[in-house]
């Protein structure tokens, strides 16, 4: 009998070693511990022994039963752990990555574009690399014009110039990073006939040293409208709708005479300071007003350049700095914050 118990034990140990699936282990459990299982059969044989022998044999069989039970339990646990490690535990909570959002400048650009789209303006794009003709000459800014100083920078060689290794071609063909979005006016008018209502946002570049209110790259939105009999009153009407939608009903707007080579007459447009409501504070330099854009009636010189008849068509144009509008709306005091990509700043908007 002892030999028989030993044989069954060894057979079990071999089989449990060879089994590698939880189902196989379950089958072993039935084979050894089930109602007709090997160990159960042994227990039934006890009655064939003398009362003196029974206790000893009974203990041997019970020890075997315990050993088999434990071994099956352990094997099941280690198999299910293996399965989890291989597939990953699908019952664990998922990992969440935080959702991003648009940069505050993109939000402002979208908002400006939406307002003008509702007024029937169409969005167009213009090139950031411009030629001198579109950035200056066509906008009535001749070579010797003093306002070029503030714009003149970031020239690059065209493909042909690079190939020949020297500067060639007329000055008007030289390439530069545009210093304003106004060349979009020229590009659209060269291709299309009035009526036009256009809005165009994008990057511009200036030879400005970086400080809290200047950057060598920033964003502008250009808008213009050309048709028969467009008047300064139309400009004022459109801009006053824009200002109220952008900054609120109670914000005041004023036009100050100004000069731009490509508009005549020209104006700078101020809004009443959002912080002090016009009383004067440190944000507006005690003026009560804050400049937000340049505007005017498109000059006849510009219409002539694009082949429009200045006696038949008229139009207005305006250009605004996106950073400035964003700084006003969000009360941000340093333009550099927009470009540093500091998540702690960006995630506030």
How many chain residues bind ligand PHE (CB under 6 A)? 11
Q: What is the 3-state secondary structure (H, E, C) of 128-161?
A: CEEEHHHHCHHHCCCCCCHHHCCCCCCEECCHHH
Query: The tokens 């306002």 sit on which residue?
Result: 147
Q: How far is the CB of 147 from ligand PHE (least distance, A)?
A: 9
Q: Under the criterion CB under 6 A, does residue 295 sit at the interface with ligand PHE? A: yes
* Spatial separation of the C-alpha atoms in residues 3 and 60, rounded to whole Å: 11
Strand order, beta sheet including 129-131: 129-131, 175-177, 155-156
* Spatial separation of the C-alpha atoms in residues 345 and 349, rounded to whole Å: 8
Question: Three-state SS for 221?
Answer: strand
Tell me how crowded residue 123 is: count the other CB atoms within 10 A of its CB: 13
Q: Which residue is nearest to ligand PHE (CB)?
A: 319
Cβ distance to ligand PHE smaller for residue 220 or 272: 220
Please give the residues from 208 up to 267 whose contact with ligand PHE meets the rule CB under 6 A.
222, 260, 263
Cβ distance to ligand PHE smaller for residue 9 or 324: 324
Q: Under the criterion CB under 6 A, does residue 319 sit at the interface with ligand PHE? A: yes
Interface mask toward ligand PHE for 182-211; x: CB under 6 A: x-----------------------------
Cβ distance to ligand PHE smaller for residue 25 or 243: 243
Cβ distance to ligand PHE smaller for residue 66 or 256: 256
Please classify residue 71 by burial: count the beta carbons closer than 10 Å to its beta carbon, then call 0-12 exposed, 13-18 middle and 19+ buried.
middle
Binding segment for ligand PHE among 89-97, 156-164, 290-298, 340-348 (CB under 6 A)? Answer: 290-298
Please give the residues from 74 up to 133 whose contact with ligand PHE meets the rule CB under 6 A.
none
Q: Under the criterion CB under 6 A, does residue 140 sit at the interface with ligand PHE? A: no
* Spatial separation of the C-alpha atoms in residues 122 and 125, rounded to whole Å: 10
Q: Under the criterion CB under 6 A, does residue 294 sit at the interface with ligand PHE? A: yes
- Diameter of the chain measured on Cα atoms: 131
Q: Which residues bind ligand PHE (CB under 6 A)?
A: 180, 182, 222, 260, 263, 294-296, 317-319
């Amino acid at each position: 009998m002892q030999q028989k118990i030993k044989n069954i034990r060894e057979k079990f140990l071999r089989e449990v070693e060879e089994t590698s699936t939880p189902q196989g282990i379950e089958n072993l459990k039935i084979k050894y511990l089930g109602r007709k299982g090997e160990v159960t059969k042994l227990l039934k044989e006890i009655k064939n022994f003398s009362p003196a022998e029974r206790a000893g044999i009974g203990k041997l069989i019970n020890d075997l039963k315990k050993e088999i039970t434990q071994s099956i339990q352990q094997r099941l646990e280690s198999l299910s752990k293996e399965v989890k490690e291989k597939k990953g535990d699908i019952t664990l909570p998922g990992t969440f990555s935080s959702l991003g959002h648009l940069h505050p400048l993109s939000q402002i650009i979208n908002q400006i574009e939406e307002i003008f789209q509702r007024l029937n303006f169409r969005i167009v794009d213009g090139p950031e690399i411009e030629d001198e003709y579109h950035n200056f000459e066509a906008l009535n800014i001749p070579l010797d014009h003093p306002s070029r100083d503030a714009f003149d920078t970031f020239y690059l060689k065209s493909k042909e110039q690079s190939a020949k290794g020297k500067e060639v071609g007329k000055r008007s063909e030289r390439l530069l990073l545009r210093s304003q979005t106004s060349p979009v006016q020229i590009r659209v008018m060269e291709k299309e006939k009035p009526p036009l209502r256009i809005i165009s946002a994008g990057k511009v570049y200036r030879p400005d040293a970086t400080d809290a209110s200047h950057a060598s790259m920033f964003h502008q939105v250009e808008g213009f409208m050309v048709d028969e009999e467009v008047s300064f009153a139309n400009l004022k009407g459109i801009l006053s709708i824009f200002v109220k939608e952008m900054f609120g009903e109670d914000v005041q707007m004023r036009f100050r005479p100004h000069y731009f080579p490509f508009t005549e007459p020209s104006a700078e447009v101020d809004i009443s300071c959002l912080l002090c409501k016009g009383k004067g504070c440190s944000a507006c330099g005690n003026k009560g007003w804050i400049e937000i854009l340049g505007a005017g009636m498109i000059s006849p010189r510009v219409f002539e350049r694009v082949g429009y008849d200045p006696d038949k068509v008229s139009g207005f144009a305006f250009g605004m700095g996106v950073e400035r509008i964003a700084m006003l709306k969000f009360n941000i005091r340093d333009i550099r914050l927009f470009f540093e990509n500091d998540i702690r700043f960006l995630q506030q908007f």
